[in-house]
Amino acid sequence: MELEFIDWLARRVPAHPLLRVGIGDDAAQLGTTGDTLVTVDMLNDGVDFDLRRDAPRRIGRKALAVNLSDIAAMAGRPTAAVVSLALPREGGLELARELYAGLLPLAESYQVALAGGDTNSWDGPLAISITLLGSVTPRGALVRSGARPGDRILVTGQFGGSILGRHFDFEPRVAEALTLHDAYELHAGIDVSDGLSLDTSRIARASGCGAVLDLDRIPVSVAAGELARQDGRTPLAHALSDGEDFELVLAVGPAEARRMLADQPLGIPLTEIGEFVQESGLWSRDASGSLAPLEPAGYQHELR
């Protein structure tokens, strides 16, 4: 959601006794005990995919996977999904079947109940919106606003170049978030949907602090290197600003961070890439330790 619009909306949405975490986080947290998570993501032809090029099964899978990633960002357990489809009139039935053929196996592997849907034909292009519910574990929901100055910034996996294929086929970090949230004390978290630097700055902003990224420690994906060879930008620039990595960025106290890095409890690498600091803003730090302002970069949702 575009920032100006989020702010406009947030001012107009009245407080509600059910709503513990609302507009602006990865998922909303509901219920008098805050035990239900709900998140929605819509993918649209020509923006999030191109139906002339991309297989409907991959699109269907991704439409659920991005929502699973939002529940992972809150360290929740996904429970049930509903799907709404706006299908082009011609070939809509076959398209719907293919979309479901992509999303049903993913739902099953994450034990998500497919609870219903609304399937429509129209003269417009394909739009698919999935709402995913989740439940909070006994440790509570992981939110964006809990980072404290001195916390280390830990990330899962590698960054950049997901457009070459991983943005469809990524594995949402649901299991990883549950494992970490259960075994360690995490202060804050987010999933990288719009870009590592942009999403890290969102934790900082929500937590009322700043963030320093150690540029030489960013795990850069092989795909970021490939993309850099194609477009002349650096692999690091891609890692910092490309969207749809769907990895986790976590804020963790220094001692806990050391323990996590030594344990490496996941099947994928956990890497320290910087720290949260008192002074607001986003900063880069090079190998010599000198700081420079870093413009948060990534996918900016436009609304005119």
Candidates 88, 114, 106, 95; CA nearest to 56 is 95
Candidates 41, 7, 13; CA nearest to 194 is 41
Task: Report the distance separating Cα 108 and Cα 130, nearest Å.
Answer: 15
Residue 119's identity, in one-letter code, is: T
Q: Which CB atom, from 141 or from 240, has the smaller least distance to a copy of itself?
A: 141
User: Taking the complex as a whole, how short is the minimal distance between the CB of residue 142 and a copy of itself, in angstroms?
Assistant: 16
Task: Report the distance separating Cα 132 and Cα 5, nearest Å.
Answer: 23
Contact call for residue 266 and a copy of itself (CB under 8 A): no
Candidates 176, 188, 180, 77; CA nearest to 136 is 77
* From 107-115, 165-173, 207-215, 231-239, span contacting a copy of itself (CB under 8 A): 107-115
Q: Which CB atom, from 287 or from 303, has the smaller least distance to a copy of itself?
A: 303
Distances (CA, A) of 177 to 71, 119, 257: 9, 32, 15
User: Taking the complex as a whole, how short is the minimal distance between the CB of residue 13 and a copy of itself, in angstroms?
Assistant: 5
Q: Report the DSSP pairing between strands 76-88 and 152-156.
A: unpaired
Q: Which CB atom, from 34 or from 281, has the smaller least distance to a copy of itself?
A: 34
- Provide the mask over 38-77, with x wherever binding to a copy of itself is found by CB under 8 A and - wherever it is not: xxxxx-xxxx------------------------------
* From 181-189, 233-241, 257-265, 295-303, span contacting a copy of itself (CB under 8 A): 295-303
Q: Pick one of 34, 54, 55, 80: the residue that binds a copy of itself (CB under 8 A).
A: 80
Q: Pick one of 59, 127, 211, 297: the residue that binds a copy of itself (CB under 8 A).
A: 127
